[in-house]
Chains A and B, each alone.
Chain A
């Protein structure tokens, strides 16, 4: 398995290079740095000097891929591609437009993101599985039908409405918790409880429906019938025979997102004013700070690939029949 992981990690390198090429094309080839400078500084009333200053200040005053004026290795390294894209591999993220170091910002903002994402994720999965198991217990009855109808309705509501509605109900109407904001340390729960509850509720429709389908596929199999025949209670059947056997497909969908939890949730953090990576990205997008966007694309891709590898490893643990080679 060790050799397998090493090979997967090596395979990740061309993928990350590809990701960097795509972002490079998007950020520097579609519009030249001068065009971006012009758009940034205001289109009509901008002097060539101002553009040059901006480009210089950001370090975009190099050729794109190949520097014919330099000699030796500098022909490759004195280029935007090397300076801005390949340097991400050494975790050298550079500076944001406001001069702050991106790497430290990313590290400090990871905490609040995780504080929101992990509870939402864990509680969400737990509730979804429980709800799905209860519905499966009543399969082929009217209750099952009504539950499915409810799930489909719940997933047809835009996430924005859950957030806006939930904020209104709990924080404005009932005045229980603050509407938005964040405070590090022990008092953080006061600010986190509302986004976590809303995040869990907004995911129930899609999640519980998916788990229900998975459980229904297992529930009619022979070993379940055998278990029932030897007198295992319905709850025992569900928790000891159905759930463990439906674990494999659950893992496919669940493990892959675990590393991405670091990225935080864009919408939740923006609405509730939590200073995590999600709101960091949103601010960068709104301010058109491309250095941050480029970094986050890189970080996100690394985490995604990590998720794929973790999924494979978790397979071998959940199902001894699976061998990685």
Chain B
């Protein structure tokens, strides 16, 4: 396929995720000149746990970014069609789909166990003599390269070795590149390299073997579970980051203004966040999403492909999640600003006739930055978990969008089946648990390093 013939599809969430990652990177680079925050980051990364969890989160974000480059493939020209115009497939692919190869397009008929060659349920089949019998049919896309089915286990071992080696080679190249660009020696680079190598080997194995067998089996509709789990990464990462950041400008502005100007501004802002936080979060989300869905359904003209509809709903979900979690940050910022604006240096700035905007920018904002950062990392894991619950209730992401919540929702009664179908839940569990655990551990370290309360204790 010629790369220039595809039609790029830019979704709002794609754009926002890319912008976000670029701006956060730029922001972190701008902090390099500030010795205090450099020390704090050094403290986070000087622990092995911090380094390892950061690299795990980074690899999730990388996969989400690659999955956020969407395009539509051109359809082969139909007979009698004007050769000048090309029509594009309605299915939207991402660059990650290209890397995963055939993994997403190997549909089976129904359930199959991990690494299985045969289907999980018996079906009626006809043999050469025309007789009907019941047996487990062969899977279409698992182990089809095998000439002799008896070699199944040996082949699995052999292909695993190939996949692991590929991943190892890639990891070594990555590590060599990293070694060339880094100078600082006080950080635990050994741990970093080990983590990278392990992740690369795992990915190499998943990619190689995952294209030959169904590593995590298939779900009821015959879709590859591993593929669904990997595609869920983008949704998880997006919801964890966008939901906090969408509302952050408003929360920061209102929180600081309330604490700084006091008086009626303070009263209004307090009224606003008390009102919003007194509404039960789940009901507010449900009501907003239901109404938004009605709006989307009644205005189909706004969206070109189905994915854009799902994307609009997703953006709405991030927005409303941001609104429900906004009050907490606003309250913290208000309290901190109240405290800071009483300090002598702010009073001195007032005495010198410095304008309000300048005081806020120079003296207040830098001193509440740690609160914003800590809130951002602490909220991340909670939002990833919330997505699953919301999808279960039916007010989460669109059911056509791959997400762990949707996977759990579809598989929720599978454990009570006989025989038990466990792999769908395990797939969603593994990918979600790794991300949330890494995020929780990392945010603890960030909190420890940036929270002034902890800093004072350390100084003593």
Contacts and interface: CB of A to CB of B under 8 A. Distances in A.
Interface of A: 14-15, 18-19, 22-23, 26-27, 30-31, 35-36, 38-39, 43, 152-153, 155-161, 164-165, 167-168, 172, 179, 260, 263, 266-267, 270, 281-282, 285-286, 288, 290, 293, 296-297, 300-301, 304-305
Most chain A CB atoms below 10 A, which of B279, B292, B440: B279
B271 A30 contact: no
B357 interface: no
A167 B385 CA distance: 20
B416 A285 contact: no
B3 interface: no
B415 A164 contact: yes
Interface string B363-395: 000000000000000000100010011001111
Interface residues of B, number: 43
Contacts of A30: 291-292, 295
A305 B280 CA distance: 11
A61 to B, nearest CB: 19
A301 B280 contact: yes
Given A285-B394, A297-B284, A168 B279 contact: no
Given A156-B440, A164-B425, A267-B392, A19 B275 contact: yes
Interface of B: 271, 274-280, 282-284, 286-288, 290-292, 294-295, 297-298, 381, 385, 388-389, 392-395, 408, 412, 415-416, 420, 425, 429, 432-433, 436-437, 440-441, 444
A158 B440 contact: no
Contact of B444 (A152, A165, A288): A152
A288 B289 CA distance: 11
Given A161-B425, A172-B415, A281-B282, 18 more contacts: A15-B274, A22-B275, A27-B287, A30-B291, A30-B292, A35-B295, A39-B294, A152-B440, A152-B441, A152-B444, A157-B436, A158-B388, A161-B429, A172-B416, A266-B393, A285-B290, A286-B393, A290-B287
A14 to B, nearest CB: 7
Contacts of A27: 287, 291
Contacts of B287: 23, 26-27, 290, 293, 297
Contacts of B389: 158-160, 267
23 contacts: A19-B279, A22-B275, A22-B276, A30-B291, A35-B295, A36-B294, A39-B297, A153-B437, A156-B433, A157-B429, A157-B436, A158-B388, A160-B412, A266-B282, A267-B389, A281-B282, A282-B393, A285-B283, A285-B286, A288-B290, A290-B290, A300-B280, A304-B280
A192 B55 CA distance: 43
Nearest to A15: B275
B298 A160 contact: no
Contacts of B275: 15, 18-19, 22
B295 A158 contact: no
A158 B416 contact: no
A35 B297 CA distance: 10
Secondary structure of the A side of the interface? helix
A172 B395 CA distance: 29
A39 B300 CA distance: 13
B297 A19 contact: no
A30 B289 CA distance: 11
B388 A160 contact: yes
Nearest to B323: A22
Nearest to A285: B286
Nearest to B418: A172
Nearest to A43: B297
B412 A164 contact: yes
A23 to B, nearest CB: 7
Given A155-B440, A168-B415, A31 B294 contact: yes
B298 A38 contact: yes
Contacts of B297: 39, 43
A165 B408 CA distance: 12
Nearest to B429: A161
A50 to B, nearest CB: 16
A26 B284 CA distance: 9
Given A23-B287, A30-B291, A293-B287, A160 B408 contact: yes
A279 to B, nearest CB: 11
A58 to B, nearest CB: 15
Contacts of B283: 281, 285, 293, 296-297, 300
Contacts of A270: 393
Top-5 shortest CB links A-B = A300-B280, A18-B275, A156-B437, A156-B436, A168-B415
Contacts of B277: 304
B285 to A, nearest CB: 10
B28 to A, nearest CB: 25
B394 to A, nearest CB: 6
Contacts of B429: 157-158, 161
A301 B279 contact: yes
A19 B433 CA distance: 36
Contacts of B415: 164-165, 167-168, 172
A179 B412 CA distance: 14
A146 to B, nearest CB: 14
A286 B392 contact: no
Contacts of B278: 15, 19, 300-301, 304-305
B416 to A, nearest CB: 6
Given A156-B381, A168-B415, A286 B440 contact: no
Contacts of A300: 278-280, 283
Contacts of B392: 160, 267
A270 B287 CA distance: 18
B295 A297 contact: no
A282 B409 CA distance: 14
Most chain B CB atoms below 10 A, which of A26, A36, A165, A290: A26
Contacts of A26: 287-288, 291
A301 B275 CA distance: 8
Given A152-B440, A152-B444, A300-B283, A286 B294 contact: no
A31 B279 contact: no
B280 A293 contact: no
A168 B416 contact: yes
Contacts of B271: 14-15, 18
A296 B444 CA distance: 36
A301 B432 CA distance: 32
A152 B440 CA distance: 7
